[in-house]
Amino acid sequence: MPVSVARQIVFDVLLKVERQSAYASDLLHNELTSPMKPQDAALATELTMGVLRNARLLDFLIELYSRKPVPALDPEVGLSLRLGIYQIRFLERVPARAAINESVELVKRARKRSAAPFVNAILRRAAERSAEPAAGLIPGNLSKTERLGILWSHPTWLVERWLGRFGEARTTALLEENNRPSETAGAFLQPDERETAVRELERERVQLAPGRWLRDAFRVKTGNVSGTRTYREGRVSIQDEASQIVPLLLGVQAGDSVLDLCAAPGGKTAALARAAGYDAFVVAADIHERRLRAMRSQLKRLGQAGVRLAALDATTTLPFCKKFTRILVDAPCSGTGTLARNPEIRARLQPEDLPDLHARQSAMLKSALAYLEVGGRLVYSTCSLEPEENEQVVEEALRQTPGAHRVNRSEMMATLKPFLVSGANPSEIFDEDGAFHTLPPGSHTDGFFAVGMERIK
Q: Please, what sign has the CA dihedral across residues 414, 418, 422, 424? A: negative
Pairing assessment for the beta strands 217-222 and 207-210 based on DSSP bridges: antiparallel
Bridge partners (DSSP) of residue 286 are: 311
Residue 321 burial (10 A CB sphere; 0-12, 13-18, 19+): exposed
* Nearby residues of 423 by Cβ (< 8 Å), 6 or more positions away: none
User: How many CA atoms are closer than 13 Å to the CA of 315, on its beta-carbon side?
Assistant: 11
Name the nearest CA neighbour of 85 among 45, 56, 109: 56
Q: Which residues are catalytic?
A: 383
